[in-house]
A = this chain, B = another copy of it.
Amino acid sequence: MFVTIVENNEISAGYFRLAIHSPELAENTKPGQFIMMKVGDNYDPLLRRPMGIHKISNKDNNPCVELLYQVVGKGTSMMSKMKKGQQVDVLGPFGNGFAIPQNIKIAVFVAGGVGIAPLAMLAEKMVKDATDLKTYLFIGGKSKNDVLCLDDFEKLNTKICIATENGSLGNQGLVTNSVSKFIDQKANGQASFFACGPYQMLKAVSELTAKKNIPCQVSLDRRMACGFGACLGCVVKVTQGNHGSYKNVCTDGPVFDANEICW
């Protein structure tokens, strides 16, 4: 479906927020779902790019969905040059999205870099729908330039803990160090974790939460050809089922229970 770009701004060096006008997507997208976007009109780049939905919003009374993306290669670099008013071809929403547990009391979000994108929408919805929810955000990046969306979480009164590899903001080191301390000291069965970011970070969070039997959902990144279950290119090995079984990240995920994955 063709949708119109309403905004495409660089919010931090190499990171862009792109809003598209689409009542359908705004209405039907759950936190953690994604779209597949065609970039350019030609056969190079050939495949659509998967992009998580970052927010649902209204711009000039138009229902929009917003993406938050990092420029990493050919496709995202072309996206960064798209202009307001331009039409762009997207499919979706796809994927399962996060499962929001009933009567949850403590939600812990763990984000690495642009992994914050789907968590912002998730946190907003959870806070809105819950009556008595405490929220924590552990967010990490290479440098302060890679730590995004703090204001969105401040609005939600989330307790925020920042870590950067070069120490330019928050603690110096990996975000998982902070998560580890938190779990040792504070987390208990009432908490639920929601994580999105690099594979190694997700793996570490998964191990930390598993040790304490804390529920943890992770949103995975995989190269995708279709996004809707037809190519079997995006699979991840899962513990469930017989040895060597795979699930589709695009249709069975991108969100999985952390202990479902063979890390």
Residues of A bordering B, CB below 8 Å: 40-45, 74, 78
Contacts and interface: CB of A to CB of B under 8 A. Distances in A.
Nearest to A83: B83
A230 B44 CA distance: 26
Nearest to A41: B78
- Copy number in the complex reads 2
A44 B42 CA distance: 6
A71 to B, nearest CB: 14
Contacts of A42: 40, 42, 44-45, 74
Contacts of A45: 42
A78 B43 CA distance: 14
A166 B42 CA distance: 35
A74 B41 CA distance: 9
Contacts of A41: 78
A74 B43 CA distance: 11
A35 B78 CA distance: 26
Contacts of A44: 42-44
A44 B78 CA distance: 14
